[in-house]
Structure 1
Amino acid sequence: MILCLYLTGMRPQEVQGLRSGCCPDPEPTADGAAGRHLIRSRHYKNVTDEDGNHISAGEDRDIPWVAITPVVHAIRVLERMVPDGELLLSAGHHAFASKRGHHGALKGGALNDQIERFVVWVNREATSLGLSHQTIPEDPHGASGMSRFRRTLAWHIARRPAGLIALAIQYGHMRTVLDARTSSGYASRSQRGLHSVLDVETALAAADTAARLSDRMASGERISGPASRRAIAAAATTPRFEGRIVPAKFAGKAARFLARDGVVLYDNPDAFLICAFKHDNALCEPEPGATAPRQYACRPGCGNTVRTDTHARQLRTRADEIDQMAAAAPGPLGNRLRANSERLRATADAHDTTAQPAEALT
């Protein structure tokens, strides 16, 4: 329950309404890539009938929620605990302390109590294992009820390629689609709070990307791509984020950090590269004034591309996976898959041919 709340941004009532089978395994895409897991659920806020009366049973949500791997695992565990089609948090299967018959999902009060018991259990286990630094401290703002998880989605979704699109679909925040400040005043749908959250999370993700690149180069990995020198400079000058409280004024610093055209690094694991985003070089056709690439529209040959030896290994691993799928696919589809795997290997070969140590580029 905590994973579903924390890593999707669903409302508590929506998690309580999830049923077994709500998150089927996706079919692979035409190029062999794994599809995204989607959660089908019901929503309850502002659901009314023709006369304006609230419908307590809610209705099926038109737009599914994007589910990352830990959420899928949590749902699979719950599906093993309840029958097919049953509520994942069914009171009849989870209310062990009471011998009375229960119907529907566990109530909010019971689930809040479970969260507090979970905190006690974590702290006891951490202490017994000598991991006192992993205990959960007492929250000065009170108990960690279900409603406290609502705005935690940015770190887990916005960092991924097309993550902003997922946010836009799930929440309707148009600024995440347009990816520019031009839409910051779109009438009643303006969400200034979310804007600053996204800026902070995007800046922290870029700092993490720079730190990982610096560590890889320090360990002897080579680097290739037209933006290699800019990436090396960015990795050397970007401060590391090693865990601290983020004050309110950090949002302004994050926005200014992202506005440094040409020296902000964006990880794109789906394309197996780092984008040293410079607006005028970008082939992904970013909006005027955009400070981040359209990662879902990454194009080969872009002047912002950077790869390391790790990316080359990942390219070959992905090519091997696609070849396995091609062997079991019918003729035309298999041919397309094999062509895709050959393209990935050619990209890895190009890296091996042109890559240089960081010292040779500085």
Structure 2
Amino acid sequence: MPTQPLPVGHGDIRPLGTTPVLSGRPLTVDPGAVPRFADRVWNLAVAGHAGNRYASEFLIDFDSLSNTARREAAREFLFWRLNTRPVRGPLPSISTVAAEWWNLRCFLRFLDTEHDGIRMRTVTQSVLDSYLASCRSEGLMKSSLRQRLQVIPRLHLAAEAMPTDALEVNPWNGRPLSRVIGSPVVSTHENQTPRIPPQVVAPLVQAALFYVHTAAPDIINARAELTALEASVGEIHGLSLTRLNHYLGSLAAGGRGVPVLDGTGRQPHLAGTPAYTYVMRKSGAGQAIASGSYNDRIDRALQQLGPEPGGMDTPITLHPQSGQPWRERFSPPAIPREERLLRAACYILIAYLSGMRDSEVKELRDGCHFTERSADGVVVRHKVRSQLVKGGRGTSESWIVIEPVAYAINVLERLPHRDLLFCRPVTGRPHSTISANRMNDNLNEFLTHCADIGYPVPDVNGEPWNLTTRQFRRTVAWHIAHRPFGTVAGMIQYKHLSVAMFEGYAGTSPSGFRAEVAAEEALARLADVVERYEDFKAGVRSTSPGGPRTDNEFARVQKELQDFPGRLVDERRLHAMLKASARTLHIGTVNDCYYQPETALCRTPSGEDRPLLNSCRPDRCGNSTITTRHRIGWEAARGDTERALAFVGLSDLQRTALRGHLNDVTKVIEGIDCAND
């Protein structure tokens, strides 16, 4: 429940020690558990709304700073950050402030170790420059360097709220950090998150589908076998050579070898060594490695039967490509690794095929998947329920998804986990989670592993592609916008994805996915218009009634920019002038439509602001332009018509209609050829 906001202290007024530090924010606990200003440790997780994060990430322990002045100044700054709304936008999220605590400590420790513990009020610009140089020496990427430095201008902004010690110098004279660290000035109109290249995403999704559908049952069964074995260990008392001999005899009778370490555990250099402990426990001969006759007996059996990597009983499914088992038999140390890879595969399918944000994927819990029928009872929709974490607030929402996503969730529910599906239990700890950075590592481990299971992912520019959780939503939005009828891994249509994502919550404003696709579509249309403008400069002319209008518009742009051979034009100005055309451009196979309702033959009384493709008359409409790039589509139409005319048994009316259509198509092709001779 939210509490009432409190005023932040300024000047020499500090908040009282009993003042709650999270006033005005929605809480996940009783308000009495909210940390107070004077507390030694602030647990911000009471308003974190992100169960997929380590609890320690939200702990602010002021005792980790060197002296009282540092602790009190940090306390004042963080209170100011938590309770002061910026000029634009909402209060910073709890996760943002928790991350800023780390960056603040880095700066304060630098002052202690490199500048004799000077107070912030005596810091000069030269000290800040030396801190910048120190951060650069760590080899940080520019994005990480920017995050590290952002706390410094904020310390200056908070000076009035920090009576203990404040940064009085205006860092770098107020220059933007992007210029201070040399970051390129990027356009705010395009999402800067890199898209996963098609040659990477195709085998990656294929491998994820393989892991979820084929490998998952084996991994789950292996975990069940290991759990049963661990439960039976407590019932083993003493040592029994008879049981060991009986077990080794059963291996010989079954044509199997002696279990040896397979190199997937914590000591890969021991691969090929007999799995003494496993053999003793599996046979019931003892709880751990024995000595003397027991080890000698296992060694003799290894010489007689040969090794069997892994050695567990769970059968391995055949790989659909090779017809051979997709991996060797499991060993106990291999199971956690395979579960980690399987979780990464599930993450790939859920994040990529749903359009959900990373934080929303990691908030999935037991029972989050459900189905609903459409109003007519015909269509069964898969839905998932999660938490939208945005602006520091958590709200329960639902997404419509496709079947592979639902299947991946079902697999996650069968893996060992806590309430959150991406939280795995760890011995001795209440829970362990896969945070964003850990998941990035797991995703790249899975990408490397793809080659081992028959789906190698090629390098990009000579380097392995570096996957991050944010890339999946950006990539599927781009593909839906640029390739609306393309496929994913040869079985899932992007069009299918877009329908599912837009039909339900994922297409509403809180999720923002529709807006991201719309932005990608705008960029795609602008790129297409620029390409058509370049064709126009190269002498390509369009036919059909709308052709002259388009050519005249391109001629006007070329003249105004003086865009002629031997001259360089301002690319940003060119794009700005062509944007008006891009807003109305609709790409097609047999024509492009620069849609204007007043001249559209497909217009309807409803006043749709887009063409009705099923009613398009590309060879007659005043909005249509046809160029040489469309000739292939018209050639295909002519071939289809000629084949239809060859059918026996056509009526006279059908044959007459087909001949008329063939004549129209032929005229268009001839017009393309004449216009561009």
TM-score of the superposed pair, with normalisation by structure 1? 0.48
Larger Rg: 2
Which has the higher relative contact order, 1 or 2, with Cα contacts under 8 A spaced 6 or more apart?
Answer: 1
TM-score of the superposed pair, with normalisation by structure 2? 0.28
